[in-house]
Amino acid sequence: MDKIAWIHLEERRLLTARNAGRDRFYLPGGKREPGESDLETLVRELDEELAVSVDPATAAHVGTFEALADARTDGLVVRLTCYTATHTGELVPSREIDEIAWLTARDGDRVSAVDRLVLDHLHDAGLLD
């Protein structure tokens, strides 16, 4: 499964969201629509999920991370390509999002396996508490 995610840090904490009926938080973003580039996906998903506009010209690739999908027994691998980018607008969760949270590396048990890799990477780089 190929997904695109936004890395947004404030005060050494990482923005995450939790969908209705789910236990785990995830990095904002989502699956690519047919024919979309990474940045087109990022712009669309962040508008849908958080009502913010992302400037693709400011996007920087942070890394690509792979891990087995949580709660799956078929060996599905999630490939998460992550970008930073500046945004305009206030973070306003959509109806599908129950909660946003600012996590640190100590919150690895609150996210999926692939997101845990991102937390570890950001912590090792000295960007995340």
The pLDDT of residue 96 is: 87
Place of tokens 């991370």: 65
Q: Say what the pTM is.
A: 0.94
The pLDDT of residue 72 is: 78
Give pLDDT < 50 ranges for the chain. Answer: none
**Does 101 fall in a domain?**
yes
C-alpha distance across the termini of the chain, in Å: 29
**Does 25 fall in a domain?**
yes
Number of domains in the chain: 1
The pLDDT of residue 5 is: 99
Residue numbers of the domain that contains 30: 2-124
**Does 42 fall in a domain?**
yes
**Does 24 fall in a domain?**
yes
CATH code for the domain in which residue 9 is found: 3.90.79.10
**Does 76 fall in a domain?**
yes
**Does 107 fall in a domain?**
yes
**Does 129 fall in a domain?**
no
Instruction: Indicate the helix (H) or strand (E) that contains 119.
Output: helix 113-124
